[in-house]
C-alpha cells in the first residue's frame, strides 16, 4: 500500500510539472469579458475611465532621530461610473510594523543554524518600531475624517458619498522610523558612516497613497507582504523635501528651486544632463565629500 501511494504521488507530480505551455494560447480566459470599457483586442473601449489622484506633499528628513515626517493633501477624482462611499489608501511602510502580516508570517531556520549577523537582524526586527504613524486625517475644511487602519491599508469615509465626476480633497499627517540597512534588508533604510559622522538614506514607499480602483477588481486593497508590485493611479505631484544642508537629494520629477540649492556650476551640469547621452554628475564626488 505504501509503495502504491509513492508511485501515484510521483506520477502526479511529473504530470503537473510536464504541463505544456502554449505560446499561442488564446487569452479569452485571461482578459476580462469585452464590454464598453475594453474591446476584445484589449484596447480601451468608448466607455473607458481611469481614476486620478493629485498630491501636494511636504516631507522632512529628521536625521537626529532617523525618521521621516510628512503631511500631504490628496485630491481624488472619481472618473468612474460608481458612487464611492469610502476610499482606500496604501500604507506600505506598515509591513515593518511588528503586527503586520509580513512580520507574523516570517519564518526562520532556527537559532541554532543562524549566523551572528542573522541573529542580530532578527533581534533588530523584533524591536524596530516600524510603520506609518498616522497623526491626523482631515477634510479640506480641517475637520477630522472617519478612518480605520487595516494593517497596510487605510480606509477613509468622506462626509458624503463621492458621486461619478466628483472630486474630494483631504489631508493626511504621518511619520515613520527609518530602519538600519545594515541590520534589516529592506527596500529602504539608512547607513551610518563612522568616519564622516554622516548618514546615507535610501527612502522608498514613503507616503500614504491611493489604492487603484478599477471596473475589474474594484478597490485593489490586498495586504502588502513585501513582495510583488503594485498599481497606482495617475496624477500630478508637488513635493517639497526638507533635508539637512549637507545632504544631496536625488529624486524623480522636475526640480523647482535649482537657483536656491544648486551652485552656478551645478545648474550648468543639470542643463547639460538633459541633453547628454551619458550620465552627468550634477554634484560631483569631490563636492559631496567637501
Using alpha carbons only, what angle is made at residue 120 by residues 115 and 123, rounded to the nearest 5 degrees?
125
In a shared domain, residues 64 and 104 = yes
Q: Are residues 179 and 272 in the same domain?
A: no
210-225 pLDDT, tens per residue?
A: 999 999 889 999 988 8
- Indicate if 123 and 194 belong to the same structural domain: yes
Give 44-59 pLDDT, tens digit per residue: 999 999 999 999 999 9
Whether 138 and 165 map to the same domain: the answer is: yes
Residue 19's pLDDT is 56
Query: 209 with 276, same domain?
Result: no
* Strand pairing class (87-90; 237-242): unpaired
pLDDT average, residue stretch 18-22: 67
Query: In terms of domains, do 97 and 223 share one?
Result: yes
Helix (H, G, I), strand (E, B) or coil at 143: coil
CATH number at residue 188: 2.60.40
How many separate domains does the chain show? 2
Would you say 132 and 67 are in contact if contact means Cβ atoms under 8 Å apart? Answer: no
Instruction: Give me the mean pLDDT over the 65-83 stretch.
Output: 98
Q: What local confidence, expressed as pLDDT, does residue 99 receive?
A: 72
Residues 247 and 266 in one domain: no
- Indicate the pTM of the whole model: 0.83
Q: Which residue has the cell 502580516?
A: 101
159 and 290 both lie in a single domain: no
**174 and 73 co-located in one domain:** yes
Domain holding 276, by residue range, is 254-290
Question: Over 80: is that where the pLDDT of 22 sits?
Answer: yes
Q: Is the dihedral of CA 277, 261, 65, 209 positive or negative?
A: negative
Mean pLDDT, all residues of the chain = 87
d(CA 133, CA 94): 9
- Kindly state whether residue 169 falls inside one of the protein's structural domains: yes
Judge contact between 79 and 50, C-beta under 8 A.
yes
Task: With beta carbons less than 8 A apart as the criterion, state whether 77 and 260 touch.
Answer: no
Q: Which of the two residues, 113 and 137, has the higher pLDDT score?
A: 137
Higher pLDDT, 154 or 110: 154
Amino acid at each position: 500500500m505504501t509503495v502504491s501511494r509513492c508511485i501515484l504521488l510521483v506520477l502526479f507530480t511529473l504530470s503537473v510539472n510536464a504541463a505544456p505551455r502554449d505560446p499561442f494560447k488564446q487569452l479569452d480566459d485571461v482578459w476580462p469579458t469585452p464590454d464598453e470599457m475594453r474591446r476584445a483586442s484589449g484596447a480601451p473601449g468608448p466607455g473607458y475611465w481611469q481614476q486620478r489622484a493629485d498630491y501636494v506633499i511636504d516631507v522632512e528628513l529628521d536625521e537626529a532621530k532617523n525618521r521621516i515626517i510628512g503631511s500631504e493633501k490628496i485630491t481624488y477624482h472619481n472618473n468612474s461610473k460608481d458612487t464611492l462611499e469610502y476610499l482606500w489608501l496604501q500604507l506600505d511602510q506598515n509591513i515593518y510594523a511588528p503586527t503586520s502580516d509580513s512580520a507574523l508570517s516570517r519564518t526562520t531556520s532556527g537559532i541554532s543554524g543562524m549566523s551572528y549577523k542573522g541573529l542580530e537582524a532578527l533581534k533588530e526586527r523584533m524591536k524596530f518600531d516600524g510603520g506609518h504613524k498616522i497623526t491626523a486625517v482631515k477634510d479640506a475644511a480641517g475637520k477630522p475624517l472617519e478612518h480605520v487602519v487595516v494593517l497596510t491599508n487605510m480606509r477613509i469615509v468622506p462626509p458624503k458619498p463621492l458621486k461619478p465626476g466628483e472630486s474630494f480633497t483631504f489631508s493626511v499627517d504621518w511619520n515613520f522610523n527609518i530602519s538600519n540597512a545594515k541590520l534589516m534588508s529592506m527596500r529602504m533604510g539608512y547607513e551610518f558612516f563612522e568616519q564622516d559622522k554622516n548618514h546615507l538614506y535610501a527612502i522608498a514607499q514613503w507616503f500614504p497613497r491611493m489604492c487603484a480602483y478599477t471596473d475589474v477588481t474594484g478597490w485593489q486593497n490586498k495586504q502588502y507582504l513585501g513582495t510583488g508590485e503594485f498599481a497606482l493611479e495617475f496624477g500630478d505631484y508637488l513635493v517639497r523635501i526638507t533635508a539637512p544642508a549637507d545632504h544631496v537629494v536625488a529624486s524623480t520629477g522636475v526640480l523647482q528651486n535649482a537657483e536656491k540649492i544648486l551652485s552656478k556650476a551645478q545648474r550648468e551640469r543639470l542643463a547639460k544632463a538633459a541633453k547628454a547621452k551619458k550620465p552627468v554628475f550634477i554634484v560631483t564626488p569631490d563636492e559631496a565629500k567637501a
